[in-house]
Structure 1
Amino acid sequence: MSTMNNLSPWKGVLSGTGAAILANVLVYPLDIVKTRLQIQVQKRDRNRDGKNDCGSELENGPQYNNAMDAVFKIIREDGFPGLYSGLGSSLLGTASMNFAYFYWSATARILYGAMLKAHGCADANSIVKELGLGAAGGAMAQLCTTPISVISTRQQMGTKFTGKESIWKSTKAILESDDGWAGLWTGLKVNLILVINPMITYGVYQWLRNILVNVRKELGSFDAFVLGALSKIIATIVTHPLIVAKTMLQSKSVTCRGGKPFKGFTEVLIFILQNEGFLRLYKGLLPQITKGFLVQGLMMLFKERYVFSRSGFRSIF
């Protein structure tokens, strides 16, 4: 049995959160790229001049053809630091989200185990069980961390054309908007629906992990990486249209809407279908999957290979 199964909830929380922060730092440029691609509007029908009526969300900024094009243009316009815009708020969001998720998921697992024991029932390796336990952690985490997600998205949009904003300036701009404090929770509804993403990710991972542990009795580093990456890819493909809708909803309104903000994620989805076409519901999918593959793989690898002892984290490589 893996050492991680013997960890208390707090030890699992700390190891999972630390692993998530480290993994996200390593692949953060992919986060910038996927955000820029997802908020960019490319109208499928061109006007008589051959120009798009709907321009990029980054008004007067560059248009990105693909992920590599976005990387080169960001470096050319903002230098290498441009690939790390909003890193501070993103890491804060990553830490708070994973802390809340792992804590509430672990708590739900303990309560579930206690309930089974009290009723004399045997536990079973069921993907339905894993998805249900993950839902509790995901919902509670989203309620607490949506404001950080909104601020991080606004910061990642900043270029030399639109101007870069600090965490404080981004927060102030949101509070001074028509939405006020409620603006910090923009996209909460879609975020709650997106709880199915970590549900699928951790549910599939835990399910496959239990199967592998029962067969091999021990989970290796490569096994943890592959299982974590595979589970995240599956979750990303299933939920990507909602991820795009959330990103556009939390960003400033698109240019061709005359500054009119989206009212909800369903309006975003309809807008994309009407103006860009079905395939654009999956814009930014490659960097999103690549980021998810690496982050989830590295996070599960780090989480499986570290334990928390009385003296601190101790490597068990």
Structure 2
Amino acid sequence: MESLVEATSGAVGSLLSTTILYPLDTCKTKYQAENRAHHHQKYRNISDVLWEAISTRQVLSLYQGLGTKNFQSFISQFIYFYGYSFLKRLYLKKSGFKSIGTKANLVIAAAAGACTVVVTQPLDTASSKMQTCEFGKSKGLWESLSESTWSESFDGLGISLLLTSNPSIQYTAFDQLKSRLLKEKTRKRGGEAAASPSPEALSAFSAFMLGAVSKCIATCITYPAIRCKVVIQSAEADETKDKSRKTVPGALRSIWEKEGILGFFKGLQAQILKTVLSSALLLMIKEKITKSTWITMLALKRFILVTRSRLKSS
């Protein structure tokens, strides 16, 4: 029950945060995908992408691929939160510990993230291609998938698996900070715990701040891999049709030769802004709807049990 509640609230939070911040995500992805020498760059900063959409009267194109992104985001977050919660509870049950340590938390988060990546990679690749298309020329999900071979749908899978360390770091930091904050709140109340079956939740502000801090740390550490992944997934959209960019060594070499070492951090500010806001919103929404989701699940469970009992008696 708890795993299902975590998965549902996390998926809903992801869906809402993705929709709210999608125009920023599109601008960020198009800016990151550009891999040219400095004097040939089309976009000098992320605001140039926004201005292009406005000047060409394609503002609505900032939402191109939104349906695919939301679909991918909902599925990935549901799988992640369900797997993360399930594996964490299984570990505590098998180990007999009352709380989970940082190392074990990292391993569990990475395992949940790896499962999520393998299932949703084709949707992630299709979403990136749709976002990096020229404004007004984006294709639908089925068309984007059908144009690629099965192996091409998993472009960047290796580096995506590497990037499972990002949410691992983020959610581990968030859980540890959340646990300490709730313990401090309990201590200040004199150690009186509520006799409610529902889990205690953070305030919206606390969840937002903890989510922002944890995601900022994770993003800074893993950003070079994030940039490399975008370059790989958008390779077909590049006018040079450089097929070597579809491999990790090729993408690394392309970024190094054309942009230098600073190229690995191109768009870092935009990435931090987008991911921190997205993660903070996701965790804030998740924390606020967890209790209502828990109550709904309990009511649904009771309804099913009562209905089953009546059917048996009749």
TM-score norm. by structure 1 comes to 0.83
Residue of structure 1 equivalent to 2:60: 81
Shift of 1:160: 4.4
CA deviations over 1:86-119 (Å, ceiling 9, x no partner): 10100011011101111111111121011122xx
Distance 1:258 1:149 in 2: 21
Residue of structure 1 equivalent to 2:75: 96
**Are 2:13 and 1:19 equivalent residues in the alignment?**
yes
**Number of residue pairs matched by the alignment:** 283
Residue of structure 2 equivalent to 1:182: 151
Distance 1:76 1:313 in 2: 52
**Are 2:187 and 1:204 equivalent residues in the alignment?**
no
Secondary structure of the 2:151 match is helix
Residue of structure 2 equivalent to 1:265: 248
**Are 2:222 and 1:247 equivalent residues in the alignment?**
no
Shift of 1:261: 4.2
The amino acid that maps onto 2:126 is: I
Shift of 1:255: 4.7
CA deviations over 1:235-282 (Å, ceiling 9, x no partner): 111111111111111113475755424242232122211221111111
Which range moves more in the overlay, 185-194 or 218-227? 218-227
Secondary structure of the 2:11 match is helix
CA contact (8 A) 1:100 1:141 kept: yes
Residues 88 and 239 of structure 1, relative CA distance in 2, 3 Å threshold? same
**Are 2:46 and 1:67 equivalent residues in the alignment?**
yes
Residue of structure 2 equivalent to 1:114: 93
Distance 1:255 1:23 in 2: 29
Residue of structure 2 equivalent to 1:290: 273
Residue of structure 1 equivalent to 2:195: none
**Are 2:122 and 1:143 equivalent residues in the alignment?**
no
- The structure 2 residue matched to 1:228, chosen from 202, 206, 211, is 211
CA contact (8 A) 2:208 2:281 kept: yes
CA deviations over 1:161-201 (Å, ceiling 9, x no partner): 8x221112211211xxxxx2111111110010000011011
Residues 262 and 76 of structure 1, relative CA distance in 2, 3 Å threshold? same
Residue of structure 2 equivalent to 1:166: 140
Distance 1:68 1:106 in 2: 39
Shift of 1:295: 1.1
CA contact (8 A) 1:150 1:184 kept: yes
The amino acid that maps onto 1:191 is: S
Percent of aligned positions that are identical:
29
Shift of 1:313: 11
CA contact (8 A) 1:240 1:281 kept: yes
| Residue ranges of structure 1 left out of the alignment (5+ in a row) | 1-6, 47-51, 57-62, 175-179
CA contact (8 A) 1:75 1:82 kept: no
CA contact (8 A) 1:241 1:282 kept: yes
CA contact (8 A) 2:23 2:63 kept: yes
CA contact (8 A) 1:253 1:261 kept: no
CA deviations over 1:9-39 (Å, ceiling 9, x no partner): 0011000100111011111111101111111
CA contact (8 A) 1:75 1:83 kept: no
Distance 1:257 1:30 in 2: 26
**Are 2:156 and 1:156 equivalent residues in the alignment?**
no
